[in-house]
Amino acid sequence: MGLFRSILGGGDKSPPARTVESPKDLQPGDMLKMEFSEQTLISGQTLKVSEQVFYDISAVENCKTVSILEGADQRVLLSVSTVNPERPLELAISVLPEKVFDLFGHDQFVAIFDEPDNTDHRIQRSTKVELNELHGFVGDSYFQERTNEAYRSKKDCRSETLTDADWDGFDYKLLVTDDRCHAVRIEVFDGGRTDVYLIAYLALNKVEEYWLA
């Protein structure tokens, strides 16, 4: 009977082996090794995916997979971005408001929120602040490129179709350096919670190796 099932194409079929060829393919438990880079926080580090979140950024980036990595001195967010086609690997770190004000000055950063109709905001980094662990994640001058509504979910939109109830909406702002190698992402949620991320864009080959969980 087993012979006939084999001939006719029946019987159990094992699912294809999972591979990771891009940050889009990562799942919790997977690991990766970074090459040496300007970003001292992650340069040469081996990092592990602890969890993932997924973004829908209003027709710009749909089902964007963001892997939260452990193994460095602080959590790092890894994803693929469309901001810089030549450097699509996006590495982001969260920063507290106090550090943001140190880096960019209180008044020029708050103006982004106090003048929401002005989409031409530009912020300059203070040269008096030591970057330390932020080295490689901060540019000199940023302009506001996007401001729109976006959505975030902890459910994996790669493997299932999500409903509106699965997504949490927030106001999204992105400021990018002129060379498009760095960005500041701002997420403002209902109730006023505001998350700020410093972003560096690198080539995909800056990930030296992947390991499956």
pLDDT digits (tens, 9 = 90+) for 148-201: 899 999 999 998 999 999 999 999 999 999 999 999 999 999 988 999 999 999
**pTM reported for the whole predicted model:** 0.89
Q: Is residue 96 part of a domain?
A: yes
Note whether residue 11 is domain-resident: no
- Judge whether 3 lies within some domain: no
Q: For the chain, what is the mean pLDDT?
A: 90
pLDDT at 5: 46
All residues at 6 or more sequence positions from 14 whose CB lies less than 8 Å from its CB, including other chains: none
Name the token pair of 104. 């960019």
Q: Are 46 and 68 in contact (CB under 8 A)?
A: no
Q: Do the Cβ atoms of 206 and 34 come closer than 8 Å?
A: yes
User: How many Å apart are CA 7 and CA 29, to the nearest integer?
Assistant: 38
- Give per-residue pLDDT as tens, 87-135: 999 999 999 989 999 999 999 999 999 888 788 899 999 988 888 889 9
Q: Is residue 6 part of a domain?
A: no
Q: Between the ranges 9-13, 45-49, 147-151, where is the mean pLDDT highest?
A: 45-49
CA distance 64 to 70: 19
Residue 136 in 3-state DSSP? coil
Checking phi first, is residue 12 left (phi over 0); if not, alpha (psi -120 to 50) or beta? beta
Distance CA 150, CA 187 (A): 9
Q: What is the predicted pLDDT for the residue at 13? A: 63
Domain with 30, as residue range(s), is 19-211
- Cα separation, 72 vs 54, in Å, equals 22
The count of domains in the chain is 1
Residue 133 contacts by C-beta under 8 Å, 6 or more apart in sequence? 40, 41, 73, 74
The answer to whether residue 83 is domain-embedded is: yes
- Helix 106-114 with 97-104: angle, nearest 10 deg: 110
Q: What is the pLDDT of residues 185-200, one digit of tens each?
A: 999 999 889 999 999 9
What is the pLDDT at residue 44? 95
Is 10 contained in some domain?
Answer: no
Residue 13 lies inside a defined structural domain of this protein: no
Residue 6 has pLDDT above 50, yes or no: no
Kindly state whether residue 2 falls inside one of the protein's structural domains. no
